[in-house]
Structure 1
Amino acid sequence: MTTSPARRPARPTRFVVGRVEDIPPGERRIVEANGREIGVFNIGGRFYAVLNRCPHLAAPLCEGGVVNQVTSPVPGDVRLDEGQTFVTCPFHNWEFDVETGQSYWNPRLRARPFSIALEGADEVKAALHRGELDRIPGPYTAETVDVTVESDYIVLSLRPARGGSS
């Protein structure tokens, strides 16, 4: 008699991080999902997620500063490009594009970005019920009792990011 091996339940790859209002513009939250620390940033109302590990020397990257690109086409003419935002390594100030993970200092290095999306309360509740989502533990868990929730939620995917964010 042959028996098939027991299938382990799949580890979740999508997690509810919290409500949109839990991470105001200019703020970040570092969460743990499947044993990885990930920084979730709200930059001007758009959300980005990056592995909390600098690829240069393994510093806690997401604890660093958040800055915009500064250009100077000619001496004395300094411009701030708010369309390009970097997270800076707290150890050596190396800058990584918060959207793509690309290093500004070394084109061979790249921080790991993750997909992030905003999903409505009804979608999140249904996905939690189907077992397609898990919740990040802590004070910012999604409400799961049968009530009407009038909010959007930030949902992190551990699948590699492909381009932009919400």
Structure 2
Amino acid sequence: MIMSNNGKHRVAVCSSAELAEGQRQLFDIDGVEIGLIRVEGKCHAFRNSCPHQGVPMIYGSVVGTMVPSRPQEYVYGHHNEIIRCPLHGWEFNLKTGKALFSPGVSLKIYQAEEEAGEIVLYVDREPLQVTRKQFFCAL
């Protein structure tokens, strides 16, 4: 285990080849499920629990959304930057975790990087156990 310069613990969770574009992986790190997805070449990691009712976010759609605009004007933006809860449709920014409807509500986001052929997560505490979990997704 290596501690990075930002005080986080580095955890290699899978090889880069195991997370192709659009694919998802699910890991349990000391009892906390973390979803991982590659979108447009970038890896995003998030707590696999919607803050609303705990629904697994690993099944959520990755979408864009309408952005503020003038009356009678409809502007689409944030393409592939939003993950939508599969149950009630709550939307969260994959980069910041902030909910689109309220900046006071967030989905926990983890730093995920591709380093030397591995996908690496940076977590707050040194993990005792890291397990890849099976899930079934027809996305």
Q: TM-score, normalised by structure 2?
A: 0.73
Look up the match of 2:93: 97
In structure 1, what residue type is equivalent to 2:49? R
Task: Give the Å deviation of 1:72.
Answer: 7.0
Which of the numbers 112, 115, 118 marks the counterpart of 1:119?
Answer: 115
Query: Hey, what's the Cα distance between the residues in 1 that align with 2:21 and 2:124?
Result: 24
Contact 2:50 2:85 survives alignment (8 Å): yes
State how far apart, in whole Å, the 2-side matches of 1:20 and 1:112 are. Answer: 23
Query: Structure 1 residue 43 and structure 2 residue 39: aligned?
Result: yes
Identity score, percent: 28
Is 1:14 aligned to 2:22, yes or no? no
- Equivalent residue number for residue 103 of structure 2: 107
Preserved contact between residue 50 and residue 111 of structure 1 (Cα < 8 Å): yes
Residue identity opposite 1:79 in structure 2: Y
Tell me how large the CA RMSD over aligned residues is. 2.3
What is the aligned partner in structure 2 of residue 32 from structure 1?
A: 28
2:121 counterpart letter in structure 1: L
In structure 2, the residue matched to 1:81 is 78
How many angstroms apart in 2 are the aligned matches of 1:17 and 1:87? 21
Instruction: Give the secondary-structure state (helix, strand or coil) at the position aligned to 1:58.
Output: coil
In the alignment, the residues of structure 2 paired with residue 73 and residue 30 of structure 1 have an alpha-carbon distance, to the nearest angstrom, of 37
Deviations 1:65-104 (A, max 9, x none): 111133474546543432x611111110100111111001
Cross-structure match for 1:23: 19
Compared with structure 1, are the counterparts of its residues 35 and 14 closer, same or farther at alpha carbon in structure 2 (3 Å cutoff)?
farther
- Contact 1:115/1:159, CA 8 A, preserved across alignment: no
Q: Deviations over 1:89-143 (max 9, x none)?
A: 11101001111110012221101001112221xxxxxxxxxxxxxxxxxxxxxxx
Cα deviation, residue 15, structure 1: 2.3
1:59 aligns with 2:55: yes
Higher helix share: 1
**Count of residue correspondences:** 117
